Amino acid sequence: MKRDDARWLILLTVIIGTFLGRLDQTIVNLALPKIIQDFSITVSQAGWIATAYILANAVFVPVWGKLGDTIGRKKVYIWGFLIFIFGSVLAGLAWDLNSMLLFRIIQAIAGSADYPTAMAILAVTFREAKERAEALGLWSASFAAASVFGPLIGGPLIDMFGWRSVFLINLPVGLLGLAMALVFIRESVSEKKTVKFDWWGAITLGITLSALVLVLDKGMDWGWLSNEALACYSIVLLFAYIFYRIDSTHPEPIVDFKFFRISAFNGALINNFIVFMGMMGGLFLLPVFVQTYLGLDATETGFLFMPMAFCMMIAAPLGSSLIGKVEPRYVIFASTAVAALGIFLFIGLDARSTTLDLVLPISVMAFGMGFGMAQRTTIIASAVPAEEIGIASSVLALFRNIAGAFGIALFATLLNESVKNNILAIAQNSQIYTGNALAQAQFVTLMTLKAQILAYHTVFIVATVIVLFGAVIAIFTLKVKERKSGVEVFME
């Protein structure tokens, strides 16, 4: 096989791996209403199915990134496939919320191996800057491709065979990706050999993230100044400090703090954090809204989200084609602003909304997100030495996962609080002049419905402001200069 052919087959292989992880997240979101019904749990409890996955993924991403650079990216990549397949089958057999959470954590631990190792594999496979940009653009588009096939596969699976089938579908896809990884991916390790793995750094980081996400998710139920919440705050501050002291002096840290001396690296992390917090927090609630208030089933909901995936698939390669031609911060600013516009358009949703009312904002938001995706990834890959790309990309994945946890916790809390406040405000300004019990019941139902719809509007307005702030941040922090051999990042 020619060397050029091998490179593109390696790209196809890592695309399948990324596709698998993203496919799982997309399908599971569609299945949440059915899982809620089957397990007799609340929407807040169901949020843990997503939050637990994000948390475990965040904790283990830096570990896999470091291990990939150390013992070999191919080894880590293959182990990730094997464990993910195993966890998927177990999740398909879950019998209650607790068992589901345990099996989702197993999935997440395995799934966290994909992003840092895939990005490092592509970086060492495609050495030339322009070709690497093309590869990263196509890889980025695989996120969108999974969003297309997620609804197409997931909706009918859920309606015909139940929610368990959405986990079992990972088995054939995973086996295909595993076989391709064994055949095509070449082993690679960092030139810097690890002598002593930073286990204490990994443990303290995990404790910090666990306490942080726990208080974000449960803070509303406990009370933000309750003893439980205060305990979590204390754990976060204490172990974050211990983690910093460990990794700032460790010769081979899980998170290398020298990266944070690079202004473009910091800007890319901040932009990614803000954008993913706004996007993931807002989108987590959309399937629930559609199936609850518009009466669509899982298949119809899935088809409704297809334009999002197609727009991302179109936008991602277009954005990557501008690498080396337009300064990245301008592309990222424009793409983030367009994504914010798409989120803002959701404020027109109500119980009478049509398909077009949903498709338009989804498409605008997706195009904006997709257009800047390769640019964000390329900045991270170009800011650090090639032998440390695995660690740097794991930091990027870590920030994205934390952002997702923040977004889901923030907007779920905001939604619940807004509903309560809206009901009180509407009740104070409403009157009913009848003693008819049926009319009074309908009055309360309509009042509650209006309060819930207005709460969703509040969520989308806040998400818009957050994502717009991410666009502004990009202009002032993502300062890079282009050169023929790649992207040179200013050190500050």
| Cα–Cα distance, 18 to 123 (Å, whole number) | 15
**Token pair for residue 238?**
């204490």
- The candidate with the shortest Cα–Cα distance to 488, out of 263, 243, 300, 308, is 263
**Token pair for residue 328?**
């990245």
pLDDT digit of tens for each residue in the chain (492 aa)? 555 567 778 888 888 887 777 777 777 877 888 888 888 887 777 777 877 787 777 677 777 777 776 777 788 888 888 888 899 999 989 888 889 999 998 988 888 777 777 777 877 777 766 677 677 767 766 766 676 677 677 778 888 888 888 888 888 878 888 888 888 877 766 555 555 777 788 888 888 877 887 787 677 678 778 898 899 999 999 999 999 899 888 877 777 787 777 777 787 888 888 888 877 776 777 777 777 777 777 667 767 777 877 787 788 778 877 777 788 888 888 999 999 999 899 888 777 778 788 888 888 988 888 888 777 777 776 777 666 666 777 777 778 777 877 787 788 778 878 888 877 777 666 666 666 666 656 666 667 777 778 888 888 888 898 889 888 888 877 665 444 334 443 333
**Amino acid 194: pLDDT:** 55
Give one word for 223, left, alpha or beta, with left for phi > 0 and alpha for psi -120 to 50: left
Q: Is 176 exposed, middle or buried (0-12, 13-18, 19+ CB in 10 A)?
A: middle
pLDDT single digits (tens) 40-85: 887 777 777 877 787 777 677 777 777 776 777 788 888 888 888 8
382 within 8 A of 487, measured Cβ to Cβ:
yes
Per DSSP, which regions of 101-186 are E strands? none
Place of tokens 């406990």: 222
DSSP conformation class of 406: H
Element (H, E) at 190: none
**Amino acid 484: pLDDT:** 39
Cα separation values, 28 from 31, 407, 468, Å: 5, 17, 28
Place of tokens 């286990």: 199
Rg (CA), the chain: 23
In 3-state terms, what secondary structure has residue 488?
A: strand
pTM tops 0.75, yes or no: no
DSSP conformation class of 397: H
